[in-house]
Amino acid sequence: MQTGNKVVPTETQTYSPNPPTVTTQVVIPVSAGVSVRTVAAIIYDPKALIRLNPLVRECTQLPADKAIDNISATGKQWRYHIVDNIPIFGGLMWTTTEYHATFTALPANINNDATRMVVETKASLGISTVSNWTVRETDHCGPEQSIVVTEVCVSSIPLLLRYFVVGIIKSAHIELFQRLVKQLDNSSN
């Protein structure tokens, strides 16, 4: 849906418990003046994607590792050290956590021409995630052609921390998508 030149997306989020999986999706009408190329440029830019996360306090690109930071059959990879501010006790207090993230830009899928980025994170306490991002154009999401941005985040979290960590992932990723839409809206004006 479009209001003037404003991007008005449709957002959805679902959760599956085994393994803990959060799927967040936004559908953006093409008539809003946004192209797949514009959205893909943000998703393919690890630093831009990191900046959209409301929890990130700082990020540093790790030095190139010939085994990792190269263009290979799987795609271009980048590694980052990230520090997040995490709200605890309902946001009354904050703590920080540090983790490493590997971003892999994959070539478009032959079947649906989706732009893809895979983000793997490894944090302390045995917490890790693998997020598969896709950006694709479709005409199956309503009366007009649309851009569909989807993130499927599969996590490995110790049972005692699962409720807390999944809650943080869900709220942060909804806000991340809202920030993405705001950035797209600003770029289309």
Distance, in Å, from the CA atom of 5 to the CA atom of 10, rounded to the nearest integer, reads 16
> Which structural domains are found in the chain, ordered by start?
2-143+152-188 (3.30.530.20)
Which two tokens mark 134? 């896709």
Three-point CA angle 121, 182, 114, nearest 5°: 55
Spatial contact of 145 and 30, defined as CB atoms under 8 Å apart: yes
Q: What is the pLDDT of residue 86?
A: 94
How many helices and strands in the chain, by DSSP H and E? 3, 10
pLDDT digits (tens, 9 = 90+) for 34-57: 888 888 889 889 999 999 999 999
- Identity of the highest mean pLDDT range in 7-11, 16-20, 77-81: 77-81
Q: What is the pLDDT of residue 109?
A: 59
Q: Residue 60: which pLDDT band, with cuts at 50, 70 and 90?
A: very high
